[in-house]
Amino acid sequence: MDETRRVVRWSGRENGQALVLCIIVLTVLLGCAALVIDLAEAYMTKRTLQSSTDAAALAGARELPDSATAISVAGDYSGRPGAKNESANLPAATAAVTTECRSFAPCKPVNTIVVEQSASVPTLFAHIFGIDSINVHTRAVACAPCEPKKVDVMMVLDRTGSMCQDHWGNADPACTDLNNARSGMLTFLSFMDPTLDRVGLVVLPPAPRSGSTCVATDQTAYDDRSARWLVTPLSSDYASKTGSLNNGSSLVSTINCIQGGGRTSYATAIEQASAQLQGSGRSDADHVIVFFSDGAANYGPSYYGNSSSYRVRPCHQGVSSAGAAKGAGIEIYSIGYDLDAVNGGANRCQSYTGSSESPSITAYEALQDMASGPDFFYNKPNAGQLNTIYTNVAVKVLGPRLIE
């Protein structure tokens, strides 16, 4: 009898111990499960936040080297409240954006943007253990320009008579607008690497078939099939390996000497630039046209015939010729400069006879349509320096990308 009681007492004790042990194990398992759920939520939040951090860095890099604008745009694309990448499914994020100058590429004055974001993820179960939230942090670094890449670029310059006039059409002997264009183009060249990048030049009106490429021309050259639209083929001697421009090179010396005069014709200039890239461009390089004009097309070479679109719809034909170039894989950047000069007259596309194109189209619309997309079109509404625009084009040509 005593033995039976003793066995029963020991069995009860073992059952009690097992219950306590089960409770402890279950508590640990529930705690682990809670932590796993909360950690998974924090991990998913961090992945989503990293995506917005990457997007913010790339968006900001496209505005470099303008530090203030780059920081502002990156903030607009961040995940903080009110920004474009804010998500209703995520906690409010804080964003810190800075710019830097790193030595891997030209730096004028910055070439790198750093975006850091943080968010606090509320826990569902871990707060039982005193953990009310999990902090996540993300970081992205983008550059523009980055390490130089191989590109073949044809610059197209409108050097018509209006480039030596002021906004109201008065003669400007100093050719201030043309000098602004020169300065911008030389700034563009300063970002290129002559060991990798080749650059050429097409002008409108074209140069005469023989003699100086610098002299001002008009209808005589336009109507000559042998006139030289291409004044400098793709070349790499425009700068030294250290980045100093070579004033004795054909490209730089031509940019510095060209004179303004004559009317405006887009299409053939674009076709000549495209032909140079397709005929002499390298297969392993990006092909790019940078087209600059300060007004609407109003002329077309007579050898096309008076009924051709080159003559009666020169702006529309410019858009069509640009479309063919883009179809061949060429990226086109277009720059409009003081298009509303002479009370908007510079913006009105006209037939060679002086009548408005039908359907009507403005220079602004034509240049916008010629570009490879909205981000490839630049408008400088008032006369002034073009260095910033040409810098931005160079940055985009060389390509922003994430490096961290």
Candidates 157, 170, 190, 188; CA nearest to 264 is 157
What percentage of the chain reaches a pLDDT higher than 90? Answer: 60
For residue 371 the two structure tokens come to 């570009």
Q: Which pLDDT band, with edges at 50, 70 and 90, does 10 fall under? A: very low
Any idea which architecture 151-399 has in CATH? 3-Layer(aba) Sandwich (3.40)
Do the Cβ atoms of 217 and 207 come closer than 8 Å? yes
Is the confidence at residue 321, as pLDDT, over 70?
A: yes
Q: Which pLDDT band, with edges at 50, 70 and 90, does 3 fall under? A: low
What percentage of the chain reaches a pLDDT higher than 70? Answer: 87
> What are the pLDDT digits (tens) for 38-97?
677 777 778 878 878 888 888 888 888 889 999 998 888 787 777 766 565 667 778 899
Every domain of the chain and the residues it spans = 2-143, 151-399
Distance of CA 328 to the CA centre of its chain: 20
3-state secondary structure the chain: CHHHHHHHHHHHHHHHHHHHHHHHHHHHHHHHHHHHHHHHHHHHHHHHHHHHHHHHHHHHHCCCCCHHHHHHHHHHCCCCCCCCCCCCCCCCEEEEEEEECCCCCCCCCCCEEEEEEEEEEECCCHHHHCCCEEEEEEEEEEECCCCCCCEEEEEEEECCHHHHECCCCCECCCCHHHHHHHHHHHHHHHHCCCCCCEEEEEEEEEECCCCCCCCCCCHHHHCCCCCEEEEEEEECCCECCCCCECCCCHHHHHHHHCCCCCCCCCHHHHHHHHHHHHHHCCCCCEEEEEEEECCCCCCCCHHHCCCCHHHHCHHHHHHHHHHHHHHCCCEEEEEEECCCCCCCHHHECECCCCCECCCCCEHHHHHHHHCCCHHHEEEECCCCCCHHHHHHHHHHHHCCEECC
Note the pLDDT of residue 136: 83
Range name among 23-32, 95-104, 148-157, 208-217 with the lowest pLDDT average: 23-32
Q: Which pLDDT band, with edges at 50, 70 and 90, does 395 fall under? A: confident
Distance CA 189, CA 130 (A): 60
Q: Which pLDDT band, with edges at 50, 70 and 90, does 274 fall under? A: very high
Q: Give the mean model confidence (pLDDT) for residues 291-299.
A: 97
For residue 399 the two structure tokens come to 């390509």
Is the confidence at residue 4, as pLDDT, over 60?
A: no
Is the confidence at residue 160, as pLDDT, over 50?
A: yes
Note the pLDDT of residue 54: 86
Range name among 192-196, 330-334, 397-401 with the lowest pLDDT average: 397-401
> What are the pLDDT digits (tens) for 350-379?
999 999 999 999 999 999 999 999 989 999
Distance CA 335, CA 393 (A): 9
* Whole-number average pLDDT of the chain: 87
Note the pLDDT of residue 1: 47
Q: Which pLDDT band, with edges at 50, 70 and 90, does 33 fall under? A: low
Distance CA 318, CA 12 (A): 97
For residue 327 the two structure tokens come to 């179809």
Is the confidence at residue 19, as pLDDT, over 90?
A: no
Note the pLDDT of residue 235: 97
Q: What is the CA radius of gyration of the chain?
A: 32
> What are the pLDDT digits (tens) for 163-191?
999 999 999 999 999 999 999 999 899 88
Main-chain phi, psi angles of 70, to 5 degrees: -60, -45
Note the pLDDT of residue 91: 72
